Chains A and B, each alone.
Chain A
Amino acid sequence: MCKKSSSSQKLRAMSSAATTSPSVDKVDGFSRKSVRKAKQKRSQSSSQFRSQGKPIELTPLPLLKDVPAPEQPELFLKKLQQCCTVFDFMDTLSDLKMKEYKRSTLNELVDYVTVSRGYLTEQAYPEVVKMVSHNIFRTLPPSDSNEFDPEEDEPTLEASWPHLQLVYEFFIRFLESQEFQPSIAKKYIDQKFVLQLLELFDSEDPRERDYLKTVLHRIYGKFLGLRAFIRKQINNIFLRFVYETEHFNGVAELLEILGSIINGFALPLKAEHKQFLVKVLIPLHTVRSLSLFHAQLAYCIVQFLEKDPTLTEPVIRGLLKFWPKTCSQKEVMFLGELEEILDVIEPTQFVKIQEPLFKQISRCVSSPHFQVAERALYYWNNEYIMSLIEENSSVILPIMFASLYRISKEHWNPAIVALVYNVLKAFMEMNSTLFDELTATYKSDRQREKKKEKEREELWKKLEDLELKRGLRSDGIIPT
């Protein structure tokens, strides 16, 4: 964040200064006191938690394996109820014994649901959901750093993780248990539950988001009645993320889940799904923090296109519409995604989109940022793309030629120039007649362009004069 001191810009004769008095540059009226405090590992706990000040007391219960089988379900319920108690982990000294007791109880519960049979009575369902809700559902605290940048900053870890992890672990085992019956559970795992679960995806703690991903995936798999609702709520989260806040920590995880959901869509695709692609997934490319979820996003897009190739045109047009203008890093990502799309494109679709597509590629190839130019030029190493270009060389070559020709003469980076030569050579071999024609007319084409440019300027000038004239004439009528 620190603004570079402007002195460096104002002084351009540093070298002469350095030769005269190299040592005095460090003269400074102040001693340096910048003793950097070692960055503490940050952790946070639920925002809702208000410590009651009183120590928490739980009466220790016998182990499940120590009681006869018929009594186990009853004891299981009791243990679930005990585990509803939430501890303050920001206070590392309070309730140590009880925290340890709850941890071991949770551990026991995890084992119990994994191996036991016949424990899942109907009464257990509401208690399980209640215990999970009490532990995991909480208002996420404000981010520690004002502008949390997931790329730069260390994530804040959840303080109550020792318990939280076990609760998640338990819940997943519960959902995956052979005895688990969605028809009973759906009374408790409802829309409201899912909504709260989705809000947790904003957690800064990547470990928690990872568990949430599995949980949501299981719920999506087992509760058919919730599927549409889950998709819609994810829609809303993404739309808010794109158009309102640009902040949500769990986008990558949600996209990962969607990737496998899309995989399972039936054909023909419903209008709802197509709308999701065009109105939600494509706009996600505009977000500043794209790099954090781009891989997952590109995967989703390609999944869609493999399902339904006719979506290629709207997708590519969408990408072209949101093509990054100033961020080269994003531009490289776009080019990567486009290559993934081209890898699976059908030739008939390619023909529909080739003109706008190669106009953009031609701009990328001539980017002064060598990574962008390089990424675009790598397309010519892709055999499938090469075959598509070859088939359509009469369209593509004229679009690309001017940029390639110009770069081969004036790009600052020798590696790019070398790549461009290869591309030009490839084109020459593909369609030598057209290539020669374009080479011959290159100069006159440029001149014509310049002339057109000049004409345009003149016309605008005339138009302005006209405005001035009319403006004067109608001064009395049109108030300013």
Chain B
Amino acid sequence: AAEEGGPCQSKMAGADGDDSLYPIAVLIDELRNEDVQLRLNSIKKLSTIALALGVERTRTELLPFLTDTIYDEDEVLLALAEQLGNFTMLVGGPEYVHCLLPPLESLATVEETVVRDKAVESLRKISQEHSPVDLEVHFEPLVKRLASGDWFTSRTSACGLFSVCYPRVSSTVKAEIRQHFRTLCSDDTPMVRRAAASKLGEFAKVLELDYVKSDIISLFTALASDEQDSVRLLAVEACVSIATLLPQEDLETLVMPTLRQAAEDKSWRVRYMVADKFSELQKAVGPEITKNDLVPAFQNLLKDCEAEVRAAAANKVKEFCENLPEDNREQIIMTHILPCVKELVSDTNQHVKSALASVIMGLSTILGKDNTIEHLLPLFLAQLKDECPEVRLNIISNLDCVNEVIGIRQLSQSLLPAIVELAEDAKWRVRLAIIEYMPLLAGQLGVEFFDEKLNTLCMAWLIDHVYAIREAATCNLMKLVEKFGAEWAQNTIVPKVLGMANDPNYLHRMTTLFCINVIVHCCGYPYREITTKQMLPVVLKMSNDQVANVRFNVAKSLQKIGPVLDSNALQTEVKPVLEKLASDTDMDVKYFAQEAISGECLSSSTIVDKLNT
């Protein structure tokens, strides 16, 4: 606060004189501003300032200044870390990119994870712009400094930088990098070990195969049996990359013992991770090991004592089956997987059941028509009757898979009660979810079935007591009209919608207007007969409604209908009504009526002329 008078003066002086002088003054002034928001703004415009300064002054003045003043709020630091990643051209191109390293190095040691991660991201980005020589002279020493920092933050940051410089340095430096990585893998703080474990796969990818076998495998084995489960579970992720890199014949000895151990880890978090990565693991280890090892492991995960693990495994059922070797896929599924799946259908935990329900339909394409009818259909039907709505919803949302194999009719007997029950569920979010599947169901069940069984439901939603449902129901109508056509709309929807215009509840009367808005939108020009002859009169009549909300929605609707009306109707019918509404006693009605009048003007020039006169 003490220097308040000063910088202001200097800014002015700079502005009067040399144009290029004042940006740095502004920046410094703004960076010292008490208001974080202003500091943040100036950091976000750092590139503007650098551009104004030119490359040389950016290097010699701006960057040193930034490096010295990195003691700000994390929000500001985050913005700075991000900016510097895109600064290469602003300091003079790749030749000078190493100038950006000092401020980024400080940022990479900050406590706040998001700042540090962003700094590492920027460092990774600019590492690519370093020449091999600069990488060894400037970048690699920085990585080393971070890797041997006192506080854990710099060491965690270092973990993310090894893999970007490794491929482009000499073999002696490579050996050093490998040594540093090894050290960090056995760091005594779990934070650093976690960081190292999470980069293990990435680092393995850039290493020569011999070193993968000698170095990475021992690190992988050690991390996978770390005392902390948070470290062990990250090793599972690395397992995918490592297994992909190794030749098939080495997998059994180098990777499988660890993977088997992880699948039976005493911590459910580790087992969860195995279940979660199962498809990737399956692809990485190949069909033979899958058959011998992963199938029983998968069975165990599907039967795990923790629901979290079972749910994660259940999610993978379809993918796992799909990726089984084709020669005995069906046999494996039928004898090993399906019995577990059958048990999961009646699991005690609803998340498990709903995870299963979201993929189980996919099995029908794999198993074919006969197996589906004999083995899967009973499961689908059971899940359609499940007490948990999410399970039923998940089945319904995937009906298309079954439709392709056995046709939806097989299910319609059970489907209908399930849909009706969901449609009437006490939780509005459940009702909302089933509405969203209506267009899909309508498409697959056909117009006849729909008219007969589902149409009433769709109309009933329009008068639901929750607005979100009414809104979704309106939107649903639009999609149905798109599917079944305007004629269908005219016969089945429009009369019912217009009937609601006389409802004693103003909310229902408004729903009429909302429906008209969307029907007009999708019937469009070719069917403007419906609009002019049937809907417009109703809308106009509603302009006399005693509830202001209805009246201003009339104004809004008229604005939407306008474009499909002929100029005669606009002039003789719409205009007087809007003018009347524009002098309403309610200020909102007035506002929307005026909006509509000027909106009409914009939509067509002929109408502009007419309405303006």
Residues of B within 8 A of A28 (CB): 463-465
| A206 touches B (CB below 8 Å) | no
**Shortest distance between the CB of B298 and any CB in chain A (Å):** 17
| A61 touches B (CB below 8 Å) | no
Indicate which residue in B229, B305, B424, B470 contacts A33 across the interface (CB closer than 8 Å).
B424
Residues of B within 8 A of A3 (CB): 468
Residue of B at shortest CB range from A192? B227
**Shortest distance between the CB of A385 and any CB in chain B (Å):** 22
A478 touches B89 (CB 8 A): yes
User: Provided the pairs A5-B468, A6-B467, A28-B463 are in contact, do residues A462 and B15 lie with their beta carbons within 8 angstroms?
Assistant: yes
A17→B111 CA distance, assembly (Å): 56
Residue of A at shortest CB range from B34? A359
Residues of B within 8 A of A452 (CB): 8
Residues of A within 8 A of B194 (CB): 244
Indicate which residue in B465, B470, B549 contacts A13 across the interface (CB closer than 8 Å).
B549
Residues of B within 8 A of A142 (CB): 268, 306-308
| B118 touches A (CB below 8 Å) | no
B549 touches A243 (CB 8 A): no
**Shortest distance between the CB of B459 and any CB in chain A (Å):** 9
User: Provided the pairs A24-B504, A479-B89 are in contact, do residues A6 and B468 lie with their beta carbons within 8 angstroms?
Assistant: yes
B549 touches A17 (CB 8 A): yes
Residues of A within 8 A of B426 (CB): 32-35
A25→B463 CA distance, assembly (Å): 11
Within 8 A of B (CB), among A3-34: 3, 5-8, 10-13, 16-17, 20-21, 24-34
Indicate which residue in B1, B22, B267, B506 contacts A17 across the interface (CB closer than 8 Å).
B506
B505 touches A29 (CB 8 A): no
A471→B48 CA distance, assembly (Å): 9
A463→B189 CA distance, assembly (Å): 47
Secondary structure call for the B interface: helix
B interface residues, tally (CB under 8 Å):
66
Residues of A within 8 A of B427 (CB): 34
A21 touches B506 (CB 8 A): yes
Residues of B within 8 A of A359 (CB): 34
A7→B467 CA distance, assembly (Å): 5
Residue of B at shortest CB range from A323? B73
Residues of A within 8 A of B305 (CB): 47, 49-50
A48 touches B266 (CB 8 A): yes
B190 touches A236 (CB 8 A): yes
A165→B89 CA distance, assembly (Å): 66
Indicate which residue in B30, B48, B506 contacts A467 across the interface (CB closer than 8 Å).
B48
| B26 touches A (CB below 8 Å) | yes
**Shortest distance between the CB of A22 and any CB in chain B (Å):** 11
A244 touches B191 (CB 8 A): yes
**Shortest distance between the CB of A25 and any CB in chain B (Å):** 7
**Shortest distance between the CB of A287 and any CB in chain B (Å):** 13
Residues of A within 8 A of B535 (CB): none
- A interface residues, Cβ below 8 angstroms from B: 2-3, 5-8, 10-13, 16-17, 20-21, 24-35, 47-50, 139, 141-142, 192, 195, 236, 239-240, 243-244, 279, 283, 321, 355, 359, 452, 455-456, 459-460, 462-464, 466-467, 470-471, 474, 478-479
A-B contact pairs, 27 of them (CB 8 A): A2-B429, A5-B466, A7-B467, A7-B507, A10-B467, A12-B588, A13-B586, A16-B546, A16-B547, A21-B504, A21-B506, A26-B465, A28-B463, A29-B460, A31-B424, A33-B424, A33-B425, A47-B267, A47-B268, A50-B305, A192-B227, A236-B190, A240-B191, A283-B111, A460-B26, A466-B52, A478-B51
